[in-house]
Structure 1
Amino acid sequence: MSEDVRSRPVRADAQQSIARILDAAQRVLAGDPGASMEQVAAAAGLGRATVHRHFPSRQSLLAALVDDLNARYRNAFEQARVMSGPPLVGLYRLTETAFELKVSHPFVISLTSAGQGPETPASDPEIQAGLERLFTRLRAAGEIAVDDPAWCRRLYVALLHEVHELPPGSPALTGAVEEPGDDLDARVELLVSTLLGALGRTPLPHHHSRSRRGGS
């Protein structure tokens, strides 16, 4: 988030305003990347002065959007129980959330792909460390054979991008699950099966993978 917001305690009402601004900015800028701060303020239902008080420039707003996305990725590690639960279950859950974030935050994803903003999820040291700890646990559990967590992390991030870019109905996606129809599930299955195969382990048959995620 921008330095002016980070440098001081934020009251509850100000936090609500910031959340509304960021949500509105994501929606407005996804439809029109050149939209003005005034358009963002209108979409948030707030006055222009309120938006400028929290984000005095367009660049500070863009930086806050990237920072918010990174925070969501970091929270995904906790939600997936990456360090406390079975590591393969954590991999599935983390991957599912990562794809959901790519879909729900297209404008910010485009910013990070272009190298704008403070740190992208792939370059955030905390996210990098979390992924490497996950791959260390996967190696210890015998789920993968490669003993190089940094390489595993880079491969995983590359696959996230490539699988996300596949168009709906791609043969790679329809072949990833036994019952086509769930695009998110197909993308998760394709990424995880490809990753496990590349890292030295034969993936489970499709009908076992959902149970690995804790699903029914």
Structure 2
Amino acid sequence: MGEMPVRPLRADAERSVRAVLEAAERVLAEDPGASMEQIAAAAGVARTTIHRRFANRQSLIEALALSAARQLAQAVDDGRPDTAPPLVAMHRITANVLQVKGAWAFALGLPADPDSEAAVLQQDIDRRCVAVLQRAQDEKVIDAAADLEWVRRVYYALIGESLRGGADGSGTQGSDPDGADPDALAARIIDTLLRGAGPRAGGG
């Protein structure tokens, strides 16, 4: 009976950490120099709570970067890169990644220490991406002579530009339906990656 409170307390602690990380993303995206106190206030937790969970501002920022990297890795994994048909996997992964990158832009833009878990996760994401592209190449969806590392870099750049367009151009989200829909945006990214801007067969 004495163990009853343990689970709710742990769940509550996890919730407060999640609230702090979400607040840190919002606050630091607007003001990268924001203090722990400002983040605590935005998260709706006491200053003592944030200091109990994170030794200092740097440890909070490292936790934020790692949390975002894990979510990005999960977004890739959820697209079933090893088992789904390559085009299906590419579409799902792209839509998932757009959502995570859109929500955690500040955290994912932080430079990762080369030995950190976040950096290792990013390397694994890169490898999995090339593996999906390899499967697409094997199925003749991508040209046999294509340099897959270059294709991966172009793919990442397309995702980055898509997110920048939605963030900067306030009109993009409202006037362009693709800007608000990860699935439509993912379809456009994959289409551009695989077919470029050249004329379509039959003029359409």
State whether TM-score is above 0.5.
yes
| Segments of 4+ moved more than 4 angstroms | 116-123, 201-205
Structure 1 position 116, deviation (Å)? 5.6
Is the CA contact 2:73–2:121 (under 8 Å) kept in the aligned structure 1? no
Which one-letter code corresponds to 1:181 in the other structure?
Answer: P
Structure 1 position 33, deviation (Å)? 2.8
Is the CA contact 2:70–2:121 (under 8 Å) kept in the aligned structure 1? no
C-alpha distance in 1, partners of 2:66/2:171? 32
Which one-letter code corresponds to 2:151 in the other structure?
Answer: C
Cα gap change, 1:85/1:123 in structure 2, threshold over 3 Å: closer, same or farther? closer
Is the CA contact 1:66–1:119 (under 8 Å) kept in the aligned structure 2? no
1:88-103 to structure 2, matched below 5 A, reads 88-103=87-102
Describe the superposition over 1:116-155 as per-residue Cα deviations: whole angstroms up to 9, x where unpaired.
Answer: 6657779821111111111111112221114543222222
Does 1:182 find its partner at 2:181?
A: no
Structure 1 position 76, deviation (Å)? 0.9
Aligned residue for 1:23, secondary structure, equals helix
Is the CA contact 1:73–1:121 (under 8 Å) kept in the aligned structure 2? no
More off after superposition, 92-101 vs 139-148? 139-148
More off after superposition, 60-69 vs 181-190? 181-190
Aligned residue for 2:135, secondary structure, equals helix
C-alpha distance in 1, partners of 2:79/2:201? 20
- Structure 1: state its 5+ residue gaps: 1-10, 174-179, 206-216
Match of 1:81 in 2: 80
Structure 1 position 193, deviation (Å)? 1.4
C-alpha distance in 2, partners of 1:99/1:204? 29
CA RMSD of aligned residues (A): 3.3
Cα gap change, 1:23/1:169 in structure 2, threshold over 3 Å: closer, same or farther? closer
TM-score with structure 2 length normalisation?
A: 0.74
Match of 1:61 in 2: 60
Structure 1 position 157, deviation (Å)? 1.3
Cα gap change, 1:83/1:123 in structure 2, threshold over 3 Å: closer, same or farther? closer
Match of 1:151 in 2: 150
TM-score with structure 1 length normalisation?
A: 0.70
Does 1:129 find its partner at 2:152?
A: no
Cα gap change, 1:203/1:47 in structure 2, threshold over 3 Å: closer, same or farther? farther
More off after superposition, 27-36 vs 50-59? 27-36
Match of 2:189 in 1: 191
1:1-216 to structure 2, matched below 5 A, reads 11-109=10-108, 111-112=109-110, 115=111, 118=116, 124-146=122-144, 147-166=146-165, 167=169, 181-183=177-179, 184=181, 185-197=183-195
More off after superposition, 70-79 vs 15-24? 15-24
Structure with greater helix percent: 2
Identical-pair percentage: 36
C-alpha distance in 2, partners of 1:151/1:120? 23
More off after superposition, 94-103 vs 184-193? 184-193
Is the CA contact 1:196–1:202 (under 8 Å) kept in the aligned structure 2? no
Cα gap change, 1:14/1:196 in structure 2, threshold over 3 Å: closer, same or farther? same
Structure 1 position 202, deviation (Å)? 9.3
